[in-house]
Amino acid sequence: MAELMAAGEEPEILFWVGCAGSYDERAQKITRDICKILHHVGIKYAVLGTEESCTGDPAKRAGNEFLFQMQAMTNIEVLNAYNIKKIVTGCPHCFNTIKNEYPGLGGTYEVIHHTQLIQDLINEGKLKAEGGESFKGKKITYHDPCYLGRGNGIYEAPRKALEVLDAQLVEMKRCKSNGLCCGAGGAQMFKEPEKGNKDINVERIDEALQTNPQVIAAGCPFCMTMLSDGIKLKDKEQEVKVLDIAEITARANGL
Partner 1 sequence: MVAQILFLVLTLAAIALFTVNLRKIIRNIRLGKPVDRKDQPQKRLMTMLRVAFGQSKMVVRPIPAFLHFFVYIGFVIINIEVLEIIIDGLFGTHRIFNGLGGLYNFLIGSFEILAFTVWGSCAIFLVRRNILKLKRFSGVEMKSWPKSDANYILITEILLMSAFLLMNAADAKLQLLGASHYVNAGAFPVSQYLINILPSSESALVILERSCWWFHIIGILAFLNYLPYSKHFHILFAFPNTYFSNLEPKGEFTNMASVTNEVKAMLDPSFVPAETEPGKFGAKDVTDLSWVNLMNAYTCTECGRCTSVCPANITGKLLSPRKIMMDTRDRITEVGQNIDKHGAEHQDGKSLLDDYISREEIWACTSCNACVEACPVNIDPLQIIMELRRFAVMEESQAPGSINAMMGNIENNQAPWKYSPADRFNWAQEN
Q: What angle do CA 218, 33, 222 make, to 5 degrees?
A: 35
By CB under 8 A, tell whether 254 contacts partner 1. Answer: no
Q: Applying CB under 8 A, does 101 fall inside the site for partner 1?
A: yes
Query: Which stretch in 24-32, 37-45, 161-169, 242-250 sits in contact with partner 1 by CB under 8 A?
Result: 24-32
Options 17-25, 38-46, 163-171, 238-246: segment touching partner 1 (CB under 8 A) = 17-25
Sheet holding 241-244, edge to edge: 168-169, 139-142, 215-218, 241-244
Residue 63 touching partner 1 (CB under 8 A): yes
User: Tell me, what amino acid is at 121?
Assistant: L
Nearest approach, Cβ of residue 168 and partner 1 (Å): 26
| d(C-alpha 215, C-alpha 204), whole Å | 14
84 belongs to the binding site for partner 1 (CB under 8 A): no
Q: Which stretch binds partner 1 (CB under 8 A): 8-16, 22-30, 123-131, 241-249?
A: 22-30
Compose the 37-56 pattern: x for residues touching partner 1 by CB under 8 A, - for all others.
Answer: ----------x-xx-xxx-x
Residue type, 178: N
Closest separation in Å from C-beta 136 to partner 1: 28
Work out the angle at residue 106's Cα, subtended by the Cα atoms of residues 16 and 97, and round it to the nearest 5 degrees. Answer: 40
Q: How far apart are the first and last CA of the chain?
A: 23
- In the complex with partner 1, the residue whose CB is nearer, 74 or 211, is 74
In the set 43, 64, 163, 214, which binds partner 1 (CB under 8 A)?
A: 64
Q: For partner 1, which stretch binds (CB under 8 A), given 8-16, 28-36, 37-45, 234-242? A: 28-36
Site string for partner 1, 150-189 (x = CB under 8 A): xxxx--------------------x--xxxxx-xxxxxxx
- Verify binding: residue 203, partner 1, rule CB under 8 A: yes
The per-residue b/e assignment along 38-64, b for 16 or more CB within 10 angstroms, e otherwise, is bebeebebbbbeeebebbbbbbbbeee
**Count of residues of this chain found to bind partner 1 when the rule CB under 8 A is applied:** 70
- C-alpha to C-alpha distances, 73 to 48, 59, 68, 102, 105, nearest whole angstrom: 16, 14, 9, 8, 7
Question: Does residue 117 touch partner 1 according to CB under 8 A?
Answer: no
Q: Determine contact, residues 41/121, Cβ cutoff 8 Å.
A: yes
Could you list the residues that contact partner 1 (CB under 8 A)? 17, 19, 21-24, 28, 31-32, 35, 47, 49-50, 52-54, 56, 58-67, 69-71, 73-74, 96, 100-101, 104-105, 146-147, 150-153, 174, 177-181, 183-200, 202-204
